[in-house]
Amino acid sequence: MRALLRKEIRGFLGSLIGHVVIVVFLLITGLFLWVFPDNILDLGYADLGPLFFLAPWVFLFLVPAITMRSFSEERRTGTLELLLTKPISEFTLVLGKYTAAVLLVLLALIPTLVYYWSVGQLAVPTWNIDAGGTWGSYLGLFFLAACFTAIGVFASTLTDNQIVAFLIAAVLCFGLFMGFELLASFDAVGGLEGPLKNIGIQQHYASMSRGVVDLRDVLYFGGVIVVFLLLTRTVVQSRKW
């Protein structure tokens, strides 16, 4: 497991795309927060809301870019069959690749804590900021990224083409994040509006962003992750059939 984690992390950080993805994420969020119109300084109050509104949309592309090579590269080079002959279970293989990808997403997210410190210092009085809401939003963003990662790893098992894996993951992530919200907006759904919204990620992410850590939201995120990891294991196992 440790060897697999080291291999995945070295492979990502050793490639150009690894550094580009992290830099692009920090650059986009930094520009929207501090430079572009309606930034934090223009708003005039200490709040990281713009970051937590923007980050999920950036993650829709960032996370698939991280996960697209997880299994598709192994399939393309023919090393997946070699890995399956190793004395590790398919689920351990899936879990190792998933954990490595989550750590890489976390690596991109950690530097944004500088924004939190900066806003706290700029507030009048100092640190006059909703700490509970901010940390709740960070937790929700981490869970959202973990769900997107599970979806991305699953998508990478479906093809040996990294670009196709990226596109499949991006579509699935968008569908689960906003698809059910869009369906619920139609008048035809009637009383199904609430249940439809609860199926999508957006409803649960918005709930945690208010600083309320509800067990139902945590169980939802955990359930989505487990479902897609099990689907990933099933696809990997099918290579032996």
| Segments of the chain scoring below 50 in pLDDT | none
Question: Where does residue 55 rank: exposed (0-12), middle (13-18), buried (19+ CB within 10 A)?
Answer: buried
- Which pLDDT score is estimated for 241? 56
Q: Output the pLDDT for position 151.
A: 96
What is the reported pLDDT for 149?
95
**pLDDT at 72 (0 to 100):** 86
Contacts of 112 (CB under 8 A, 6+ apart): 26, 29, 51, 55
Q: Which residues contact 67 (CB under 8 A, 6 or more apart)?
A: 101, 149, 152, 153, 155, 156, 165, 169
pTM: predicted TM-score of the whole model, two decimal places: 0.90
Work out how many domains the chain is built from and give that number: 1
Residue 52: give the domain boundaries: 2-240
